[in-house]
Amino acid sequence: MNRNTILYVLLFTCALRPAIARAQSDPIADEVQRILDDARGRYGLKGLAASVVTPGHAIRSFSSGVIRAGEPIDTSRSFYFASFTKLLTAIVVMQLVDEGKMSLDDTVGDFIDPLPNVDASTTVRELLQHRSTLGEYFSGALLEASTAPDSVFDDRQVLVDYMPAPVNPGHGYNYINSNFQVLGLIVEAVTGRDGTDEFEDRLFGPVTEGSAKLAPIGLPPSEVNGGWYNFGGGWVDVGNVSSTSALTAGKYCTGVVGTTADMLRVLKALFDGAYVSQGSLDQMKTGSPVNFFYGLGMMRRSIDGEPVFGHGGSLVHHSRTFYNPERGVGLSLAINQESGQTETIFQDLYRAIRDIATGVEGDVPTEATLSLAGWPNPTSGPTLIVMSLDRPGPVQVAVYNILGQEVETLATGYRNAGQHELAWDAGRLAAGLYLVRLRTSEGSTSLNVLRSR
């Protein structure tokens, strides 16, 4: 091959590269990266990462930003997933139920010795649904004590030392960490093993890549994507501080660390039938009579009228990990600082992934609408009102009786564009027909709801 021929081949190859790149372009990867980069700049975030799964594709991970200056976010490093731990603890509990080693109607007193300020008659179901009378142990004094870098808290003793007086006498919904720390003690009592080993053998070992851990002691900061905390005077880098005390203080409620891919693998495996029976999964997804947004350790969300299931978390890092089993679309997002924009970023990412992967956009309304979802109409108790807005602005959602009298206000004030879920306990009202009305600067719309006997 002469010199001119070689030159021609090189020029031809160079000319083809853009076309090849376009042909190999991954629209989901491009859009996820664009949204992450845009969110980091728009909201002033240090760093964030996301893992996605779509039908026919393996889990893929993306990142934007830094751990600290000159050190980019690493998708193979861990984040603190905090309250996502509750979902994992619930999975292990439901496995033990499937194995016949316990039931949801068993009580705390059936398994563990008396604890101060813990009602021994509280059932496993009540703990999973956040319907116990327990107070919040992981606050105040314990939060302060957990800032001591290398303290190791005992799973039981931390409740003995910090459990406050009972609350919630009516057993309504009361989201607290205490419920799941007590569930962790029950898991230990039933299995005779530490939960760290149970989580590894039952959850992490079969599906993750080794970084997922429950309340690790002495986790090297080099394995974590840093951490930034605002103490009131600006953001402080806390990424080199040992996390041992904070993780062991909330072992079964906030103690899990891992990558976004790890958490998404576990959640998808749950819906693929790898962990619990279909009956147990259905129970986990189903809300309680006092809160249909929260099942047995699992959050149910609605995005554009479609249910997604999973859990969020907040402990220095902010995260959301949810899966839509109908679409086969899942997303895990983690930010290495606290952020009030976590939900907005999550929904932007989810919609982009869903729409590209399935080729079908969600039913996003073009004008303000109001609809019921999740519970039937007529209703006799807790009801889900889904408010969808095509643009941000002030709103008012109120309930009126047949005389036109306002009997309850469900929402007021500024709301962003998109979908918003409102909880309404119709059971507090007399039987009859009610009008739920949404008013915005663009107009109004209403929905008739029959409160049955």
> What is the pLDDT at residue 8?
39
Buried b (16+ CB within 10 A) or exposed e, 289-311: ebbbbbbbbbbbbbbbebebbbb
pLDDT reading at 6 higher than 50? no
388-410 pLDDT, tens per residue? 777 777 788 888 887 778 899 88
Q: What is the pLDDT of residues 281-295, one digit of tens each?
A: 999 998 877 777 899
Report the chain's mean pLDDT, rounded to a whole number: 87
The better pLDDT of the pair 365, 413 is held by 413
Q: Write down the pLDDT at residue 171.
A: 80
The CATH 3.40.710.10 portion of the chain extends over 80-358
For 123, the token pair is 């059932």
Degrees to nearest 5, angle at CA 382 with 376 and 384: 65
**What pLDDT does residue 433 have?**
84
The pLDDT, as a whole number, for residue 156 is: 97
pLDDT tens track for 29-77 = 999 999 999 999 999 999 999 999 999 899 999 999 999 988 999 999 9
Domain with CATH 2.60.40.1930 in the chain: 369-451
pLDDT band at residue 18 using 50, 70 and 90 as cut-offs: very low
Per-residue pLDDT tens digits for 294-345: 999 999 988 888 889 999 999 899 999 999 999 999 999 999 998 999 999 9
CB-based contacts of 60, cutoff 8 Å, min separation 6: 28, 29, 51, 52, 53
Mean pLDDT (whole number) for 420-438: 84
CATH of 80-358, one of 2.60.120.380, 3.40.640.10, 3.90.1170.30, 3.40.710.10: 3.40.710.10
Identify the residue with better confidence: 372 or 105: 105
359 burial class (0-12, 13-18, 19+ CB within 10 angstroms)? exposed
pLDDT at residue 4 in the model:
46
Higher pLDDT, 109 or 340: 109
Two structure tokens written together for 213: 């851990």
**Predicted pLDDT of residue 15:** 43
Q: Please name the residue that has the structure tokens 């142990």.
A: 137
SS3 call for 184: helix
Alpha-carbon span 311 to 81, nearest angstrom: 9
> Which of 171-185, 223-237, 264-278, 343-357 is predicted with the least confidence, judged by mean pLDDT?
223-237
Amino acid, single-letter form, for residue 112: I
Q: What is the pLDDT of residue 229?
A: 87
pLDDT in tens, 225-266: 999 988 787 888 888 888 999 999 999 999 999 999 999 999
Cα(first)–Cα(last) distance of the chain, in Å? 90
Predicted confidence band at 14 (pLDDT cuts at 50, 70, 90)?
very low
CATH number for the region 369-451 comes to 2.60.40.1930
Average of pLDDT values for 103-128? Answer: 97
DSSP 250: T
pLDDT bin (cut points 50, 70, 90) of residue 375 is: low
In this prediction, residues 92-112 reach a mean pLDDT of 98
